[in-house]
Amino acid sequence: MAAVTSPDLRARRRFHRRLLAWYARHGRDLPWRRTRDPYRILVSEIMLQQTQVDRVIPKYREFLGRYPTFQQLADARLPDVTRAWYPLGYYRRAKHLHGIARETVARYGGRLPDEGAELLRLGGIGRYTAGAILAFAHRKDAALVDTNVRRVLGRVFLGARRLARLRGERTMWDLAESLVPAGRAYDYNQALMDFGATWCTARKPKCPRCPMKTFCRSYDRAGA
């Protein structure tokens, strides 16, 4: 597939304006949005991998009550951490989180780095998680691509057919990076994820009420 041309300034501003206005009205009040602590944001991001928000919320609070800092998590035995993770499943995530805590304490004095390259050197942190830490904890202009973001950006800027033919993630990451508004990455990324999770959903998107419908390539092709 040919490289995607970055949307022009006018298109970016229109998308930002409508998405952020939607988020101001419909954004979810989630506990990890009340903190800038990199540790707490990391815990939420690892828990949210392949797990629905409603299941994560009570376990997030319980887990932080038991392990409130990198140091306390690093000092814990892995079997105890795994038991504390129950019933979220995908227990490899608990092992990764425990390993990140130990490495962060050993190499960085218990403080996560604020540079992407350094974050990616920590085992268990990939490009998405690194971006989330940079945008949500350090307020840097970092892009994120998860399932929801991919679906929203793909539908709006590529169209359903082109999105279906997309192979690999480089194109989507390039598109996502071109769209991050300077100084607004926190709200923008939270809005994008909420929009994909609750509005531009996989099976029943709310197209007739969508603020993007006048320029969404998927909506236009559907002829709705």
CATH classification at residue 175? 1.10.1670.10
Q: Residue 166: CB partners within 8 Å, gap ≥ 6?
A: 1, 154, 158, 172
What's the pLDDT score for residue 194? 97
Catalytically annotated residues: 45
Q: Is 174 exposed, middle or buried (0-12, 13-18, 19+ CB in 10 A)?
A: middle
Mean local confidence (pLDDT), 111-126: 95
The long-range contacts involving 178-182, CB below 8 angstroms and separated by at least 24 positions, are 178/6, 178/7, 178/12, 179/7, 179/12, 179/15, 179/16, 179/143, 179/153, 180/141, 180/142, 180/143, 181/12, 181/16, 181/141, 182/141
**With the C-alpha atoms ordered 149, 152, 156, 159, is the resulting torsion angle positive or negative?**
positive
Residue 3 counted as domain residue? no
Report helix, strand or coil for 98: helix
Query: Burial code of 23-62, b = ≥16 C-beta within 10 A, e = fewer?
Result: beeebeeeebbeeebbbbbbbbbbbbbeeebeebeebbee
Residue 75 counted as domain residue? yes
Please state, in angstroms and rounded to a whole number, the distance separating the CA atoms of residues 219 and 216: 5
Confidence of residue 148 (pLDDT cuts 50, 70, 90): very high
Residue showing tokens 């969404």? 216
Last-in-domain residue among 105, 137, 169: 137
For 23-64, the pLDDT digits (tens) are 999 999 999 999 999 999 999 999 999 999 999 999 999 999
Q: In terms of residue numbers, what domain contains 133?
A: 37-137
Last-in-domain residue among 115, 137, 159: 137
What's the pLDDT score for residue 62? 98
The pTM for the full model equals 0.92
For 68-95, the pLDDT digits (tens) are 999 999 999 999 999 999 999 999 999 9
Nearest C-alpha neighbor of 4 from the set 139, 180, 153: 153
Last-in-domain residue among 137, 161, 187: 137
Domain count for the chain, please give it. 2
